[in-house]
Copies of this chain bind each other. A is one copy, B any other.
Amino acid sequence: MLSEALRGHLDALILAVLEGEPLHGYAVMEALQVRSGGTLDLPTGSLYPALRRLERSGLLESEWSTVGGRRRRTYRLTSAGGRALAAERTEWRSFAAMVDGVLGAGPEPAAD
């Protein structure tokens, strides 16, 4: 369904699922699948680098733990991450409004 469309919006989605509670990478992947209604099936090669990028940017911080013999890296929003998320939400809304405006409803001519 999506490929390049996601560009520039993935960060917002990741931050959003981490807003409520800290999650480890694999859980973020599952949360995105659930919250998108199964539409968003993010490959690990997209998710993990994105998480590390967000951490490097200071929007996330992580902590290792071991559960059932498996190492987990749990990510949590920083305060900067929270602010970034708010900004991304605003940006998304104006972007979506812009696209909606340009795309229009369809072939119907605008009321002149």
Contacts and interface: CB of A to CB of B under 8 A. Distances in A.
Interface string A58-101: 00000000000000000000000000001011011011101111
A100 to B, nearest CB: 8
Interface string A1-34: 1111111110011001101100000000000100
Q: How many copies of the polypeptide does the oligomer hold?
A: 2
A103 interface: yes
A99 to B, nearest CB: 6
Contact of A2 (B19, B32, B95): B95
Interface residues of A, number: 39
Given A13-B102, A16-B102, 4 more contacts: A6-B7, A6-B8, A13-B103, A37-B98
